[in-house]
Structure 1
Amino acid sequence: MNYSDCIRKSIEYINDNLDKKIGLEDIAGKVFLSKFHFHRIFHAATGESVAEYIRRRRLEEAAKELVDTDNKIVNISLKYQFSSQESFTKAFKKLYGAPPRKFRKNPNNGIGLMAA
């Protein structure tokens, strides 16, 4: 398996498991690389660390869910593996420039939401 296939397969795995706990060892194992080597090639290919990629993708999916459903913010935050609503709100605000409640009311203020 070449590195492009490894990255593609790992991204598919991450995207299919955003609502589950994902460890670097799990992802690296799926593409038969050590976690250290996998992390290096992932960062080189995507420009972000595995953890940053996972966090961003989870926030993107959470943002879609905020707009498309009436699910409680705390339930969305827990679904996407944030330890608390507060940690979710902090990360969400950092990415989108607005807290989840405000974003839900006016999603057009979100930066890059529908790009994913």
Structure 2
Amino acid sequence: MNYNVCIRKSIEYINDNLDKKTGLEDIAGKVFLSKFHFHRIFHAVTGEFVAEYIRKRRLEEAAKDLVNTDSKIVDIALKYQFSSQEAFTKAFKKLYGTPPRKFRKNPDNGIAFMAA
């Protein structure tokens, strides 16, 4: 079995469902692997754990929304499956080094986004 194809398909599924609640079992099922095996293969191929990858991708999309929309921060946080604005802010700050509100005011933090 070509694991690169499985991982590519799983990444496509993740990217298509960033605004939905998806778990390891859902994703592994899409590529017909057990949760345990999928988790190991995903990490071996990408160098990231599944949950870490999903969180990073959700934060990347949230950052685009912050720059390209006038949506409230809490609405963006909930859209990308964060339990609260506080949880979102903490995760966002950890990845980008600045809170979402400040990022929105000064999106020129060395990160380029294409218009939505």
TM-score range, shorter chain: over 0.9
* Cα deviations by residue, 1:23-65 (Å, 9 ceiling, x for unpaired): 1000000000000000000001111100000000000000000
Structure-to-structure mapping, 1:1-116, within 5 angstroms: 1-109=1-109, 112=111, 114=113
Partners of 1:13 and 1:48 lie apart in 2 by 16
Greater percentage in helix:
1
Q: Which runs of 5+ in 1 are unaligned?
A: none
Cα distance change on mapping 1:54 and 1:14 into 2, 3 Å? same
Compute the displacement of 1:114 (Å). Answer: 3.8
Compute the displacement of 1:95 (Å). Answer: 0.3
Tell whether the 8 Å contact from 1:64 to 1:113 is kept in structure 2 after alignment: no
Cα distance change on mapping 1:69 and 1:26 into 2, 3 Å? same
**AA in 2 matched with 1:105:** K
Partners of 2:89 and 2:8 lie apart in 1 by 30
Q: Which runs of 5+ in 2 are unaligned?
A: none
* Cα deviations by residue, 1:50-87 (Å, 9 ceiling, x for unpaired): 00000000000000000000000000000000000000
TM-score (structure 1 length as normaliser):
0.94
Compute the displacement of 1:109 (Å). Answer: 1.6
Identity of aligned residues (%): 84
Partners of 1:8 and 1:63 lie apart in 2 by 23
Cα distance change on mapping 1:97 and 1:44 into 2, 3 Å? same
